[in-house]
């Protein structure tokens, strides 16, 4: 399916183009429209279309500036300009920006269909060949092999910084920078598909030019960026992550990503990437396909009083960083105490572990009653009987902690950004009727980059920001249609749409009927 986005400031022309797109035969879907480049840029960052149909001369942000921005965010995007101006300078500038086709108004349905089918064919060809590079691009295999060897030394060998800088200089790699950030990817695919996936990744990263990377035979990809501006570094990192995930999605690859800490020294890169790698090992089985920022990893705060047993606050801190595989070792460290030779002390310890388990499960399942959780666990396990012997004591302690860690890992992703998403939800609930509200504005309100916010919003809420905003507006429109006799144009303005026809289109798409039909069926006598 090819997603198509339309940008045109003239309402009637935009409606005409939209109707042509919606009536196209084949695997095409109209995914959105905007009346100016600025609005389009915000929406497209969330929708990630495959094909853009745009005018040139528009208010706020013209077509050329829009193309320049979206090409940086979405290099796969195919662009068709539909303009009333056919002068040589405009066409020349369009070519320099990488525009695929330049059509003149008035556009006929057959002409637009042919143009869309042509760029769709190019997309399909690119996907089937698994390459984004222009034909004939000369890849230097020797240089690439040496660069991979250098990255292996940088990430794993602990080589002296001076030696690393000298080797980078010999390879013409500029790694001297104030800021560095790494991201690690686990690429999960069928074994027979692995070489195709690896080839796609190498070609993709080569086409992006900037990033250094290391791709292991196990499917672990490490990406390294450096920049002079810290904020720009993280923004660029999320942009490239989006591109990688978008391209590999077409191959059915499950991409799990951990974004590492930003560091200031070459010597700190290895430790930062190792820390991200440790988290990736823990989350790739329980949060497969997600993007996790190491700086946002949730902490479970200890609220129970300090214990006299080894299962104290320090134990809880270690527990929240422990995977299921590492639990036995952590537990054995704590059980290496002579005090557990007493059955009574073993029973007290199991009570402590039960409390910890209940607390973790309660935090991971908001709305659950901790007393109910405790009662359920107590009925499932006989703590007193298990305390009789050291082996049964250890087994039950391990089972309780495994249940806690499993529940925490299952729910950690959904609640890692809960405070940010709650603030965003409150803001959107108060301002969704404002026609100027956008993903960029909400991201700024919660103090995040728009790319990062868009990603965690979709992952946490389960739908895109645009879908959530549209849902709120549609529900408000239903209320006004069923309880008032307001004109449709006034309702559109009331819920944040400046154009009644666009409101009608969105309403019909989401509800399955036009606003008039909805009022006729559900409206009350006012």
In a shared domain, residues 94 and 178: no
Q: Is residue 306 part of a domain?
A: no
What DSSP element (H or E) covers 187? strand 179-188
The enclosing domain of 502 has a CATH number of 1.10.10.60
Q: Residue 31 sits in a domain of what CATH number? A: 3.40.50.2300
Q: Is the pLDDT of residue 49 over 90?
A: no
Give 102's contacts (C-beta < 8 A, 6+ positions apart).
80, 81, 83, 90, 91, 94
C-alpha span between 352 and 346 (Å, rounded)? 10
Confidence class for position 140, pLDDT limits 50, 70, 90 = low
Give every CB contact of residue 117 below 8 A, 6+ residues apart in sequence. 26
Does 470 lie in the same domain as 349?
Answer: no
* 252 shares its domain with 339: no
Give mean pLDDT, residues 156-176: 80
Is 356 part of a structural domain of the chain? yes
The answer to whether residue 350 is domain-embedded is yes
Among 415, 431, 460, give the residue marking a domain's end. Answer: 415
146 and 263 part of one domain: yes
The CA distance from 419 to 447, in Å, is: 12
32 φψ region: left (φ > 0), alpha (ψ -120 to 50), beta (else):
left
pLDDT in tens, 403-437: 888 876 655 545 456 678 888 999 999 999 998 89
pLDDT band at 287 (very low <50, low <70, confident <90, very high): low
* Residue partners of 269: CB distance under 8 A and separation at least 6: 154, 155, 180, 182, 224, 263
Which pLDDT band holds residue 309 (cuts at 50, 70, 90)?
Answer: low
For position 378, what pLDDT does the model report? 76
Tell me, yes or no, whether 220 and 274 share the same domain.
yes
Whether residue 135 is contained in a domain is answered as no
Q: Give helix 390-416 / helix 450-461 axis angle, nearest 10°.
A: 120
Count of domains observed in the chain: 4
Do the domain assignments include residue 103? yes
Q: How confident is the model at residue 343 (pLDDT cuts 50, 70, 90)?
A: low
Task: Please say if the pLDDT value at position 327 is more than 70.
Answer: yes
**In terms of pTM, does the model score above 0.85?**
no
Q: Do residues 264 and 323 share a domain?
A: no
285 and 427 share a domain? no
Query: What per-residue confidence (pLDDT) applies to 336?
Result: 63
Identify the band that residue 148 occupies on the pLDDT scale cut at 50, 70 and 90.
Answer: confident
Query: Which pLDDT score, from 0 to 100, does residue 139 have?
Result: 46
Residue 114 and residue 108: Cα distance in Å, rounded?
10
- Identify whether residues 329 and 425 lie together within a single domain: no
- Which one of 129, 163, 178 terminates a domain? 129
Domain boundary among 415, 431, 456: 415
H/E/C letters for each residue in 461-510?
HCCCHHHHHHHHHHHHHHHHHHHCCCCHHHHHHHCCCCCHHHHHHHHHHH
Percent of the chain with pLDDT over 90: 20
| pLDDT, average across residues 224-230 | 90
CA atoms of 210 and 248, how far apart (whole Å): 19
Q: Please check the confidence at residue 51 and state whether its pLDDT lies above 90.
A: yes
Asked if residue 11 is part of any domain, the answer here is: yes
In this predicted model, which residue has the larger pLDDT, 231 or 363? 231
Q: 499 and 431, same structural domain?
A: yes
Contacts of 305 (CB under 8 A, 6+ apart): none
The parent domain of residue 64 ranges over 2-129
307 in a structural domain: no
Q: Which of 41-50, 63-72, 141-150 has the lowest mean pLDDT?
A: 141-150
Helix, strand, or coil (residue 82): strand
Is the domain of 397 the same as that of 443?
no
Instruction: Report yes or no on 136 lying in a domain.
Output: no
Residue 136: the pLDDT is 42
Average pLDDT, the chain: 81
Question: What is the pLDDT, as a whole number, of residue 297?
Answer: 46
Phi then psi for residue 40, to 5 deg, are -65, -40
For residue 82, list its beta bridge partners: 103
DSSP 55: -
Which of 305-309, 345-349, 372-376, 508-512 shows the lowest mean pLDDT across its residues? Answer: 305-309
Question: Is the model's pLDDT at 313 over the cut of 80?
Answer: no
Residues 286 and 349 occupy one common structural domain: no
Res 37 pLDDT > 50 = yes
- Highest mean pLDDT: which of 125-129, 167-171, 485-489? 485-489
Give the confidence band of 308 by pLDDT, cuts at 50, 70, 90: very low
Looking at the fold, whether 374 and 322 belong to one and the same domain comes out as yes
pLDDT of residue 164: 84
The pLDDT of residue 302 is above 60:
no
**Joined tokens for residue 514:** 């036009």
Q: pLDDT tens across 203-226, in order? A: 888 887 667 899 887 889 999 999
Give 51's strand partners. 4, 78
**In the predicted model, what is the mean pLDDT of residues 246-253?**
86
Band of the pLDDT at 247, cuts 50, 70, 90? confident
Mean pLDDT of 293-307: 43
- Helix locations, 130-227, DSSP H: 141-152, 161-170, 194-208
How many Å apart are CA 17 and CA 109, to the nearest integer? 8
Q: What is residue 334's predicted lDDT score, i.e. its pLDDT? A: 77
- Of the candidates 213, 112, 494, 49, the one whose C-alpha atom is nearest the C-alpha of residue 41 is 49
Q: What residue ranges in 189-293 does DSSP mark as E strands?
A: 212-215, 220-227, 254-263, 291-293
CA distances from 340 to 331, 335, 397 (A): 13, 7, 13
CB 311 within 8 A of CB 352: yes
* Secondary structure of residue 213 in the 3-state scheme: strand
Strands 254-263 and 179-188 come out as antiparallel
């Amino acid at each position: 399916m090819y997603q198509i986005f339309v940008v045109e400031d003239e309402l009637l022309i935009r409606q005409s183009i939209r109707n042509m797109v919606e009536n196209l035969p084949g695997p095409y879907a109209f995914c959105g429209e905007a009346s100016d480049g600025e609005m389009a840029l915000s929406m497209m960052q969330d929708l990630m279309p495959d094909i853009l149909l745009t005018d040139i001369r528009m208010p706020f942000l013209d077509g050329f500036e829009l193309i320049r921005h979206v090409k940086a965010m979405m290099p796969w995007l195919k662009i068709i300009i539909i303009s009333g101006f056919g002068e040589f300078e405009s066409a020349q500038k369009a070519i320099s920006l990488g525009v695929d086709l330049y059509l003149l108004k008035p556009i006929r349905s057959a002409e637009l269909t042919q143009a869309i089918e042509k760029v769709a064919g190019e997309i399909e060809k690119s996907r089937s060949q698994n390459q984004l590079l222009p034909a004939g691009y000369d890849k230097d295999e020797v240089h690439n092999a040496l660069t991979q060897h250098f990255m292996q030394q940088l990430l794993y060998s602990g080589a002296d910084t001076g030696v690393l800088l000298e080797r980078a200089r010999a390879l013409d790699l500029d790694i001297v920078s104030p800021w560095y950030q790494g991201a690690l990817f686990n690429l999960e695919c069928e074994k027979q598909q692995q070489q195709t996936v690896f080839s796609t990744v190498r070609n993709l990263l080569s086409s992006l030019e900037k990033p250094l990377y290391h791709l292991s035979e196990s499917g672990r990809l490490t990406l390294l960026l450096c920049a002079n501006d810290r904020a720009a570094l993280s923004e660029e990192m999320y942009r490239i992550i989006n591109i990688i995930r978008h391209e590999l999605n077409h191959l059915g690859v499950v991409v799990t990503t951990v974004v590492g800490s930003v560091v200031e020294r070459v010597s700190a890169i290895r430790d930062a990437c190792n820390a991200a790698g440790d988290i990736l090992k823990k989350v790739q089985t329980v949060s497969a396909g997600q993007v996790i920022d190491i700086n946002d990893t949730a902490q479970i705060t200890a609220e129970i009083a300090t214990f006299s047993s080894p299962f104290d606050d320090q134990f809880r801190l270690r527990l929240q960083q422990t995977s299921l595989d590492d639990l036995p070792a952590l537990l054995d460290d704590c059980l290496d105490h002579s005090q557990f030779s007493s059955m009574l002390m073993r029973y007290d310890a199991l009570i402590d572990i039960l409390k910890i388990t209940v607390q973790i499960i309660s935090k991971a399942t908001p709305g659950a009653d901790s007393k109910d959780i405790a009662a359920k666990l107590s009925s499932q396990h006989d703590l007193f009987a298990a305390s009789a012997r050291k082996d049964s004591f250890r087994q039950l302690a391990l089972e309780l902690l495994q249940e806690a860690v499993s529940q925490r890992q299952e729910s950690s992703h959904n609640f890692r950004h809960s405070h940010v998403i709650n603030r965003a939800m409150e803001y959107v609930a108060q301002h969704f009727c404002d026609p100027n509200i956008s993903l960029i504005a909400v991201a700024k309100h919660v103090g995040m980059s728009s790319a990062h916010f868009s990603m965690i919003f979709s992952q946490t809420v389960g739908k895109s920001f645009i879908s959530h905003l549209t849902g709120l507006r549609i529900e408000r429109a239903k209320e006004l249609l069923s309880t008032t006799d307001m004109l449709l144009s006034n309702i559109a303005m009331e819920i944040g749409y400046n154009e009644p026809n666009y409101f009608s289109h969105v309403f019909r798409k989401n509800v399955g009927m036009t606003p008039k039909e909805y009022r006729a069926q559900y409206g009350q006598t006012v």
